[in-house]
């Protein structure tokens, strides 16, 4: 409902004052994703449209949450890094229409490269906190088979002529090699060992049935092969060994350290999440899987973009009144193993810390750029449900051209959760550790 403007007058001739507006709690209700595929002609989504992948996710969210009337959705925000072709034309709006949502439901597109879906979540969550929305859908898609990263881009020549950015910074693999240069303690053997652990953790999570509940089956058709229903991720390579990775080529630098084995691949996939105000979730009988505590974005040198999660995390922790020791679970996007290890080293966290990427990460499962942020959230929400001893968790990622993003979440299954909602400051941030005595 629109509020009267301060300049408007009552019939009495006196000016009205703007109604006070309280910031509302934002909760993560549900999240789904398609199985991720390998980009290219042999990948499972070759010949499949990107927007159709998003539609699958939106429809699955509605199916899984039958108490939500479609007309109660206030916004659909969908991210894509390459916004052209089947990822263009304001994909948030077109996907909403294609999914059968009422025409009264608006939508928009968003681009922050790898953090597209994460930005879709934080942007619409801010709208919920402000009171503009009650319920939203936010997600992302990247069909790197249809749209290779950087295809059709036309960087301004000033980037080179004025040396605003080193030309190598436009290639993400080169920036990962630069991180190795900056942090020589992060050796190739460490990154390979981390990558093998990611593969093993994902395989174990699949074996325990922890990945499958949030996957949307996608039927695809290829000439001469007929229809296939895809229900699992295509990129994982279970059984990968350190010896296997040691033999791989280093495509970005002769005798380098970054390989196809210790970096995320080129992938296709889509994600979508349902967010709501805490009041709307209660009214509509929607589940609450996480509460948004704080978020932050930060810029860094494009030449070492992988370090971006460090300042973003420091800002998000400060905004929340928390310290790194309060974070009981980390979901860090594994664009490159060196990028994750630089984050862990900065905060004094061991490579094999059990709080980090319990279900594995993008090195194993894939990284369809703008979609990955919601995958991190799905996995964190699943871990919150399984481990009520953890109060706070984090989703964080590096972003091309030198940025980082971090979102901090609270576990509704933790014993202090209800207390937090009643005692949280007016800004909507979490109580500090000294206020609650809690340390996840």
**Phi/psi of residue 107, nearest 5 degrees:** -160, 160
Query: Residue 23: how many CB atoms within 10 A of its CB?
Result: 16
Look at residues 330, 326, 325, 291 and name the one whose alpha carbon lies nearest to residue 309: 330
The one-character DSSP state at 356 is: B
Please give the DSSP secondary-structure letter assigned to residue 428.
Answer: S
Residue by residue, pLDDT tens for the chain (440 residues) are: 334 334 444 444 454 456 667 899 999 999 999 999 999 999 999 999 999 999 999 999 999 999 999 999 999 999 999 999 999 999 999 999 999 999 999 999 999 999 999 999 999 999 999 999 999 999 999 999 999 988 888 888 898 889 888 887 888 999 999 999 999 999 999 999 999 999 999 999 999 999 999 999 999 998 888 999 999 999 999 999 999 999 999 999 999 999 999 999 999 999 999 999 999 999 999 999 999 999 999 999 999 999 999 999 999 999 999 999 999 999 999 999 999 999 999 999 999 999 999 999 999 999 999 999 999 999 999 999 999 999 999 999 999 999 999 999 999 999 999 766 655 444 344 443 333 333 33
DSSP 215-278: BPPEEEEETTTEEEEE-S-SS--TT--HHHHHTS--TTSTT-S--SSSB---EEEEEEEEEEEH
Q: Tell whether domain 26-146+264-434 is in CATH 3.40.140.10.
A: no
Length in residues, the chain? 440
Positions marked active-site: 114, 367, 398
Tell me the C-alpha distance between 161 and 354, whole Å. 46
């Amino acid at each position: 409902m629109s509020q009267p403007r301060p300049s408007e007058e009552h019939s009495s001739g006196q000016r009205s004052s703007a109604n006070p507006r309280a910031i509302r709690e934002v909760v993560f209700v549900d999240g789904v994703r398609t199985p991720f595929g390998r980009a290219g002609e042999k990948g499972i989504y070759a010949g499949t449209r990107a927007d159709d992948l998003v539609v699958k996710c939106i429809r699955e969210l509605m199916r899984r949450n039958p108490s939500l009337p479609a007309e109660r959705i206030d916004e659909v925000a969908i991210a894509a890094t390459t916004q052209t072709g089947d990822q263009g034309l304001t994909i948030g709006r077109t996907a909403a229409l294609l999914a059968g949502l009422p025409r009264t439901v608006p939508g928009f597109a968003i681009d922050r490269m790898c953090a597209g879906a994460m930005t879709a979540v934080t942007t619409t969550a801010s709208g919920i906190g402000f009171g503009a929305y009650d319920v939203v859908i936010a997600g992302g898609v990247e069909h790197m088979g249809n749209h290779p990263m950087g295809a059709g881009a036309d960087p301004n020549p000033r980037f080179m002529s004025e040396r605003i950015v080193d030309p190598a910074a436009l290639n993400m693999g080169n920036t990962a090699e630069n991180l190795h240069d900056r942090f020589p303690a992060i050796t190739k053997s460490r990154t390979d060992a981390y990558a093998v652990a990611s593969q093993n953790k994902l395989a174990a999570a699949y074996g325990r049935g922890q990945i499958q509940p949030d996957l949307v089956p996608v039927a695809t058709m290829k000439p001469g092969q007929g229809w296939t229903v895809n229900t699992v991720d295509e990129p994982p390579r279970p059984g990968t060994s350190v010896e296997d990775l040691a033999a791989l080529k280093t495509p970005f630098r002769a005798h380098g350290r970054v390989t196809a084995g210790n970096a995320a691949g080129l992938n296709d996939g889509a994600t979508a999440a349902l967010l709501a105000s805490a009041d709307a979730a209660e009214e509509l009988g929607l589940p609450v899987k996480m509460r948004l505590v704080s978020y932050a974005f930060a810029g860094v040198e494009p030449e070492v973009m992988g370090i971006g999660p460090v300042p973003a995390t420091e800002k998000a922790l400060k905004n929340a009144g928390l310290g790194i020791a309060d974070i009981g679970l980390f979901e860090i996007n594994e664009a490159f193993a060196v990028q994750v290890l630089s984050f862990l080293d900065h905060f004094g966290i061991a490579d094999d810390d059990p709080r980090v990427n319990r279900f594995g990460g993008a090195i194993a499962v894939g990284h369809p750029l703008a979609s990955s942020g919601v995958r991190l959230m799905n996995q964190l929400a699943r871990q919150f449900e399984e481990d009520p001893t953890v109060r706070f968790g984090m989703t964080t990622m590096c972003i091309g051209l030198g940025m980082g993003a971090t979102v901090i979440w609270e576990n509704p299954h933790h014993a202090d959760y209800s207390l937090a909602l009643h005692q949280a400051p007016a800004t909507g941030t979490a109580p500090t550790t000294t206020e609650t005595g809690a340390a996840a």
